[in-house]
Amino acid sequence: MTNTEILKSINGEIKTLTKAFEQHKVNQPTDLKREWMTPIEVGHALGMSAKTLQRLRNCGALPFSRIHGKLYFKRTDIEQMLENNYHKVQRNHCGCR
């Protein structure tokens, strides 16, 4: 087999793989349930009441989306809120070892 034939064969395989990848990418729907959470899901995950979530929404600490009266929260916003409020404890702060 000559170098030209080998290159043509490789090129054909690349085209086949590219086509298969593009088809897979197009057919793969976005999983909205994984990206967005309901207030009940957020409350369960964080151990918070509906009233506490309402206070977080009202003060702007927790972004949300409202569609026809239903509320949704981005999972990434919940994670970011937790990260922003993370307080690392310093060792020997209370005198213990």
Q: Supply the DSSP string of 32-82, one letter for each residue.
A: HHHHEE-HHHHHHHHT--HHHHHHHHHTTSS--EEETTEEEEEHHHHHHHH
Domain annotation covers residue 19 = no
Domain annotation covers residue 89 = no
Domain annotation covers residue 51 = yes
Instruction: Count structural domains, the chain.
Output: 1
Q: What's the pTM value of the predicted model, to 2 decimals? A: 0.60
Cα–Cα distance measured from residue 82 to residue 19, given in angstroms and rounded to the nearest whole number: 41
Cα–Cα distance measured from residue 80 to residue 84, given in angstroms and rounded to the nearest whole number: 6
Domain annotation covers residue 77 = yes
Domain annotation covers residue 56 = yes
Q: Is the pLDDT of residue 93 over 90?
A: no
pLDDT at 6: 82
Domain limits at 42? 32-84
| Residue 57 vs residue 13, higher pLDDT | 57
| CATH number of the structural domain spanning residue 73 | 1.10.1660.10
